[in-house]
Amino acid sequence: MAASRRKKLTLPKGSDVAAQLRRLQKRAVAVRTKRLEAEHQEFVKEARSAERLFAPFAESMGVEPATAKRTIQRAKVETLAKARPPAPKPPEGHNPSEYPPYELEWSWDSVWGAAYLHHWYGPNGATGRVGTSILVPPGAGGAVSTVSSVGFWYFAPVATTMHAKVQADVWGRTAAVSVGGYVRSRAALRIYVERYDTSGFRTWESSRTVYNKSGHWVADYGGVNSIETVDVSLWLRPRVWHAIWGDAVQSVFGTGNSTAVTNFSMTVSPISYSLD
């Protein structure tokens, strides 16, 4: 099982408000972690609710348990979980598009049951790579959610509207297989902006779904190789620090005769912005 990659955030070099930012940043991490834990619990709750709702229909199909188990065992999702993408080659450029290396890195994970986190691709600020390989083994049951992020600091010079966008080269190997059990598997690219202000901490976010499959009777195997973008607009307060992130957000759930994997590497480059 892969170890957690929770990293301390870095502060802007030469900042004369470092102590203040540390306090605000500590609060921001606590808020983000609490929110992600709640989202993971809601993900598991919704999956369990769907499982109970459709269980009578699954049982009425009359598939022999031994046959269902053999079908799930043949899925061989471990092979997909172990797959690796080519080495990232992020494009280069200049502001107002921020390219790797990024100064900020952060990650979070939550695991339940026999599911597990196979490996991390990041966060790697040097290359912009984020993502994980997460897995529910055949017939084991469990759930995993992960977030890995890279980003940079931005100090707002004036009060105005910012339009921010994250672009990522997305590579993925996926599976969602269930024979009368229940499975749910999803992945998304997200932009996440934090405002560090003594008068009140605030966040903005937007997501682009790159994979989403679920069901009692499903056999989905896929590969993703695409360039994805996601954007968000926000009002800037003058002379206030912001952190702008590109996130890989992933979850899997499985019970009964089911198995799933989302194995995603996303190379974030660039994170761009414009001001009105």
In tens, the pLDDT along 81-129 reads 777 787 766 555 444 789 999 989 999 999 999 999 999 999 999 999 9
- CA distance between the termini of the chain: 47
**Look-up of token digits 């691709």:** 121
Mean pLDDT across 209-232:
93
Does the pLDDT at position 12 exceed 70? Answer: no
Average pLDDT over residues 165-181: 93
d(C-alpha 255, C-alpha 216), whole Å: 10
Q: What is the spatial distance between Cα 61 and Cα 24, in angstroms, rounded to a whole number?
A: 55
Per-residue CA distances from 28 to 3, 9, 201, 202 (Å): 23, 11, 7, 9
Lowest mean pLDDT among 53-57, 120-124, 164-168, 189-193: 53-57
Distance CA(181)–CA(167), nearest Å, equals: 36
Q: State the average pLDDT for the chain.
A: 84
Place of tokens 């808020």: 31
Lowest-confidence pick of 10-19, 55-64, 151-160, 211-220: 55-64
Q: How do residues 133-154 score in pLDDT, each as one tens digit? A: 999 998 888 999 999 999 999 9
pLDDT above 60: residue 209: yes
Average pLDDT of span 12-37: 75
As a whole-number percent, the residues of the chain with pLDDT over 90 amount to 50
Of the listed ranges 53-67, 110-124, 204-218, 244-258, the one predicted with least confidence: 53-67
- The pLDDT assigned to 29 comes to 83
Say which residues have a Cβ less than 8 Å from residue 100's Cβ, sequence separation at least 6: 90, 125, 126, 127, 128, 150, 268, 269
| CA distance linking residue 149 with residue 154, whole number of Å | 16
